[in-house]
Structure 1
Amino acid sequence: MCLLTLSVSLPSLRPPSCAKGVAYEDCTKRATTFQVGIFYCALYIIAAGTGGTKPNISTMGADQFDDFEPKERTQKLSFFNWWMFSIFFGTLFSNTFLVYIQDNVGWSVGYGIPTIGLLLSILVFLVGTPFYRHKFPSGSPFTRMAKVLVAALRKWRVSLPDDPKELHELSLEEYDKAGKFRIDYTPSLRFLNKAAVKSGPNTSWILCPVTQVEETKQMIKMIPILIATFIPSTTVAQVHTLFIKQGTTLDLHMGPHFEIPPASLTAFVTIFMLSSLVIYDRYIVPTIKKYTKNPRGFTLLQRMGIGLVIHVIVMITASLTERRRLNVARDHGINDAKGIVPLTIFTLLPQFALMGIADTFVEVAKIEFFYDQAPPGMKSLGTSYFTTSLGIGNFLSSFLLTNVAKITKKHNHKGWILDNLNESHLDYYYAFYAVLSVLNLVFFVMVSKSYVYNTDVMESKIELLQAREMLPSKAIIQENGVMKDGEK
């Protein structure tokens, strides 16, 4: 952020301004290679930093709750609701106040404020470090998974024993020394169980304990769910691209003297997300769990599925709204790129509002699911599935936009997506997304029905603590509610 702020502040790093009243595409002054390089370097550093912080901060936050304390275990079920609340609250601040500052005061101040905010965040993080519950690194999860895959492939001809107890596994004491917990055998993905068959040398690339095999299974079996989140992530990407582009063609006036910046339209998503999240956590969950007997109300996949249904409704709504906008534009003879359609910007409010409500279900359930279903030693890798979904969704959005634009221009057709939205057919493109969302919903239902939730590792934790004589008996713990708070 410091480099980005400098790139828009220092004259030597900032590209020359166009003459007043001249559009950027008609401007003869361009940024130098060095200026462009500095700007993109700043963006890539931010991307790299985001990749390192996003999966780990949420994981670290969830790890601060003690599963052996019934109160904290219950509070943990709401953690990701309020985690996403804080993220979207910051987004609301960015989409309203900072966008206004950038448009009316200057980019230097607009970027300088979040830079100072990040510096303060680092300071707060460092001050709080002595009070956090830390988990020591346990090695690369990719290496542990690779060992299981290699060992299973090497022994693909080996027969599995009838009794799972004959598979290689470490004792509870060995896991205790390493600060880990044992995961029991499951029959899913049976081929990987061959990595734990006692046959041949006992090196780590040929023989793996059952717990390591089960960790690999848990990460692999989430991949179909991860794939089912790619299309929803492309839908979310439309909010920051085409939805805003639509807004630039509408009447931005809010009263006689104030115009809403087009980029601030995303504030509607945030406002409705924050509102619906509070309603969901405080009212819907307490009501639903009386009938489902699930402390989360809905299961994580059910919650995600509800959000995917709303995504379909979002794209249908966007398609119908765009068709109305085009009809009004044609009725008034507006067909140039800079023409303003005599419709208020709030015409787009339904699609932005529905997207905010969808985020309450899809995005929160997504990050909580990948954290909850990842094995204890791979929680950060699990939450990285969440950011992977967003990243691939953005790339897929660009891929679809480019190819749909090319395909629809063939055979001398105008095409659905042009620089001039008043001559485009975004209504067709949004209908295409609605169809994709329906097909993706069908795929999601299929993979979620076959998905088996992991056994709660609390069982293994209790056995370990009993072995260390820290707890009197499992029955007492069950009576106190520790085992009853889980979803599975």
Structure 2
Amino acid sequence: MVMEAADEERPLLNHLCRPPQPQEECSRYTGDGTVDINAQPALKQSTGNWRACFFILGAEFSECVCFFAVSKNLITYLTTVLHESNVGAARNVSTWVGSCFLTPVIGAFLADSYWGRYLTILVFLSVYTFGMLIMASSTALPLLLPRSSDEGSGFHRAAVYLGLYLVALGTGGIKPCSAALGADQFDGADPTERLAKASFFNWYYFSINIGSLLSATLLVWVQDNIGWTLGLAIPTVLIGFGLAIFVAGRKIYRYKPLGAGSSPLTRVSQVLVAAARNCRLELPDDTSALHEHGRAEQHTSQFRFFDKAAIVLPSPEKKGPWRLCTVSQVEELKMLLRMSPVWASMPVFFAVTAQMSSTMIEQGMALDNRVGAFVVPPASLSTFDIVSVLVCVPLYDAVLVPLSRRITGEDRGFTQLQRIGAGLALSTAAMAYAALVEARRLASATSMSIMWQAPCYFVLGAAEVFASIGMLEFFYDQSPGSMKSLGAALAQLAIAGGSYLNSALLGAVASATGWIPDDLDQGHLNYFYWFMAALSALNLLQFVYCSTRHKR
């Protein structure tokens, strides 16, 4: 306690140690500007690192169990309980999943601008818990309302979708902030902790898939064989525990102080407006003449048009923030623009992985789901996707990274873009395989085993290890320092884009063709899969072209 009191009295002239302070004194504190819960410089030995990540990963694990307990089997609930059509249910699932990955933009904005990551997670996790309570309670409504009542049926449907979209809102503050808060626990100025940060994203994704595994096996089985009320009550209780665990770790977290001044999105908007207003001005030959406060920001020559936002105007001119911006602000916008071609490649990838919660489950319903003495729920086939992730993450971290590091010289083994590209290629192969399985099912005189789907799920799991984790690391690493939550939100926004794209493609296919009828034996789902494989191949070519031109 005496040491803690002494630490609190330490003057906060600067978080980074300055000469002539001894090196031992400097090494006691983080060098990246993080503070503890009392807004004092964070001590390395008592805050952050993996000890803090266990609390964050615990909360993320409980959120993932809830999310996948709903999403893995939602299409079954919509078709069997709410009696929606195959295409209608598939579109509604994709739209809801898209919303779950669209709301992180809201959470990231609040975290980077006003609340910070910890408070944002706390508020949205509470909303999430309330949404799960409504979802679990809504499952009992059919027992309380008359079965033949249209009004009762409508009330039940409204309650289900209210709970669903409260969950979608709640997840918006968790998904972008938990990954960023976890990465904040590692000192970016310490070489050892910097390598541990790269490993954190692998294990962050690993914990997500542990939660997914429990949902796809235990909870899906409970929902199909015991009842939806218990199947949703279990994750509701778990998310309550997750909230308590997250709050319990607050004293050992490292916190990134919010930047002074306006919000990150406001600063980016100011650059766009100022550059447009100064579009007729000539850029100076000497870039040091551009406006900057304090320490000069490293200037880049790409996207030079936006440098016009930092042209110092003649003194009679008004120099408000919407007319004159700093080079730092301009470089923030440039960093986001450099990431945009990579981001544009990701929605197609996530439209492919969205098949695991939509058309592949419907395909599984048309296959023989008896495996020996067991009856396998179609939604549980996603277990192979999860097992693939759980196997590939340790192999990637322990085997592939050290081997590739010797060849490439990269600290990470593969560059982030190489990792994403490998995932895009695997997803293309998975769709081609799914098309071949469906073609064989339609041509077969006898029913095919549902286990024919297992390799497709496994390959898609490997694709996620490469593309999804690579994307998370890329957007966190390449985002401006004041926009790390927004960088994580961009990754979630790509997933939302993929879900909405899948919903739009399903709607277009349903209206223009007869490929996906309610009776799949009368359709050609294989044609849809071939279409997705071709779209993925074109997307891969576009990504390769953009990645070769990308500049850090």
Q: Which residue of 1 aligns with 2:173?
A: 52
Mapped pair 1:213 → 2:336: no
* Aligned residue type for 1:442: L
Correspondent of 1:237 among 346, 354, 374: 354
Deviation, structure 1 residue 326: 0.9
Q: Which residue of 2 aligns with 1:377?
A: 482
Correspondent of 2:219 among 88, 93, 98: 98
Deviation, structure 1 residue 10: 5.1
Correspondent of 1:311 among 401, 414, 427: 427
Q: Which residue of 1 aligns with 2:395?
A: 279
Q: Which residue of 2 aligns with 1:125?
A: 246
The verdict on how the C-alpha distance between 1:149 and 1:264 changes in structure 2, with shifts beyond 3 A counting, is same
Mapped pair 1:190 → 2:304: yes
* Aligned residue type for 1:245: E
Q: Percent identity?
A: 41
Alignment of 1:121-270 (within 5 A): 121-138=242-259, 139-172=262-295, 183-199=297-313, 200-256=317-373, 258-270=374-386
* Aligned residue type for 1:7: S
Deviation, structure 1 residue 220: 2.0
Alignment of 1:424-443 (within 5 A): 424-443=523-542
Mapped pair 1:68 → 2:185: no
Q: Which residue of 2 aligns with 1:364?
A: 469
Equivalent pair of 1:15/1:30 in contact (CA under 8 Å)? no
- Secondary structure of the 1:222 match is helix
Q: Which residue of 1 aligns with 2:77?
A: none
- Shifted more, 147-156 versus 397-406: the winner is 397-406
Deviations 1:377-404 (Å, cap 9, x if unpaired)? Answer: 0011111111111111111101111112
Q: Distance in 1 between matches of 2:515 and 2:152?
A: 32
Alignment of 1:399-414 (within 5 A): 399-408=504-513
Q: Distance in 2 between matches of 1:301 and 1:377?
A: 23
TM-score (norm 2): 0.73
Mapped pair 1:320 → 2:429: no
Deviation, structure 1 residue 222: 1.2
The verdict on how the C-alpha distance between 1:436 and 1:16 changes in structure 2, with shifts beyond 3 A counting, is farther
Over the residues paired in the alignment, what is the CA RMSD in angstroms? 1.6
Q: Distance in 2 between matches of 1:15 and 1:386?
A: 42
Mapped pair 1:42 → 2:159: no
Q: Distance in 2 between matches of 1:345 and 1:37?
A: 34
Q: Distance in 1 between matches of 2:452 and 2:376?
A: 13
Mapped pair 1:446 → 2:551: no
Q: Which residue of 2 aligns with 1:484?
A: none
Deviation, structure 1 residue 28: 8.1
TM-score (norm 1): 0.83
Equivalent pair of 1:167/1:197 in contact (CA under 8 Å)? yes
Deviations 1:131-167 (Å, cap 9, x if unpaired)? Answer: 1111233342211100000000000011111111111
Deviations 1:354-386 (Å, cap 9, x if unpaired)? Answer: 101111111111111111110100011111111
Equivalent pair of 1:237/1:394 in contact (CA under 8 Å)? yes
* Aligned residue type for 2:352: T
- Secondary structure of the 2:284 match is coil
Q: Which residue of 2 aligns with 1:397?
A: 502
Equivalent pair of 2:141/2:156 in contact (CA under 8 Å)? no
Q: Distance in 2 between matches of 1:305 and 1:28?
A: 52
Q: Distance in 1 between matches of 2:475 and 2:222?
A: 37
Q: Distance in 2 between matches of 1:171 and 1:288?
A: 41
- Secondary structure of the 2:255 match is coil
Q: Which residue of 1 aligns with 2:72?
A: none
Q: Which residue of 1 aligns with 2:492?
A: 387
* Aligned residue type for 1:387: Q
Deviations 1:323-376 (Å, cap 9, x if unpaired)? Answer: 111111xx35xxxxxxxx2x2111111111110111111111111111111010
- Residues paired across the two proteins, number: 416
Deviation, structure 1 residue 103: 1.6
Deviations 1:69-104 (Å, cap 9, x if unpaired)? Answer: 222111111111111000011001111011111122
Deviation, structure 1 residue 202: 2.1
Equivalent pair of 1:16/1:30 in contact (CA under 8 Å)? no
Q: Which residue of 1 aligns with 2:235?
A: 114
Equivalent pair of 2:142/2:156 in contact (CA under 8 Å)? no
Q: Distance in 2 between matches of 1:144 and 1:104?
A: 53
Where does structure 2 lack aligned partners over 5 or more consecutive residues?
Answer: 1-131
Equivalent pair of 2:310/2:327 in contact (CA under 8 Å)? yes
Where does structure 1 lack aligned partners over 5 or more consecutive residues?
Answer: 18-26, 173-181, 333-340, 409-414, 454-488
- Secondary structure of the 1:204 match is coil
Q: Distance in 1 between matches of 2:515 and 2:156?
A: 35
Q: Which residue of 1 aligns with 2:459?
A: 354
